[in-house]
Structure 1
């Protein structure tokens, strides 16, 4: 895979994830969030394990892979569960941009947990994104609500997932690690759904055969989960982590555009300004400005 093809495929992943915010919001009007995610990730897990068997890679499902995959799965489960629950109470646009804060949270959590001092651009990006979050939630689109809080928890879940993924991918097969974590998400969401949600009423033929539900499950399971994670894993071998994050930062933009054109969801001026600040904060957090300036200063020396 050439570099341009890898980066174009990552942009396609960002588009898929952005579009599915609307798809999921419509589906969970009929099926509770945790049960929806349980079914979604089960479909994806069956597909991934089928691919492992087809490629005869079952031997790569080592004890370490299961351990690391389950840790990653817990982080993903927190992220997807709270994101989906949050969509019950807040808008698609706000969900997309608050979720995107995970990019900014990574350097901050790395400082706390790993004692890795963030670069100046990451610190500036964090402050910019925090200001955008305030405008988006407190100043626009109905103000701060419980759904925004749930999505903020989701952003922390995805941030921890990024940190742990960086630590674990060198020890396991990418496909095997992905399959284990997707399976873990499915199991945890099913447990939560059966314990906390009214599954007896929800799991009916009428709900499951509703076009918004079955189409949402198929789109998210195969496109937004199995295919998207597989593409991301393969493409990252041909481009830099910085460019990966920058490209995937387009996800909330695609989400907001989809919400605007599909369900006519509009943001107030303050909310729109907040989205712009969060987006630029995400970019600042990943662009190595300090390295460019350092290189430029050396080049310009007499």
Structure 2
């Protein structure tokens, strides 16, 4: 088991911390005694969460940062200083079939969900390595474990995020940097984003609650875990790929996995109320 990072007295930075799961993790970390740094492209959303933490007696600061802007990331990282925990949480999802999604939306998905991981992690990893201490968290998705209809660009980005974490873990282990990595792969989270999402077997694959997911992520950071899949049943999906392709496709149909996004409409006014990161359309 890798060495965990104690949150009491730690500095924790979360991207997309202005709403959704990011907000819950920020609030939860503050309750555990962390100094919290919130990055969000929506300045008002980040400031509001910062205010919540301070009102409860915690320590927090918020910065308006577009994680796809390398210069903005570098400047904000310099202002934040060293961190003990980095949570790469910012993400976008359009929920559109590939032929319906705009080129701009596809490009934005890849920039936020994939490219930004490198810019943000590079900004803090050297500092963690110099202290031989810290945790880098990558919030991926259950879509990183199996592709789903109407999520082609999103699934591709989350497969990449999963691979990013896996390769980063190999790098820090080979170099003995003393830094832990954790990938988080949750099923749909009840952020208001997925009201139309359905499953064939809802009792086996329930919509997850933000507070519960946030608590489990923070527990995993302190425990030094390297992978967190929620609910645990989702772990079986990649294993099913050993089946012949036709059998695998048929099983996905029976389970209803490829119909979950049929009624997806996104979150109303998502430009202002993103589900997990603030200010960008279709946050998850």
Give TM class, smaller chain.
Answer: under 0.3
The answer to which structure has the higher strand fraction is 2
Structure index of larger Rg: 1
TM-score, length-normalised on structure 2? 0.27
TM-score, length-normalised on structure 1? 0.26
Q: Which structure has more RCO (C-alpha within 8 Å, separation ≥ 6)?
A: 1
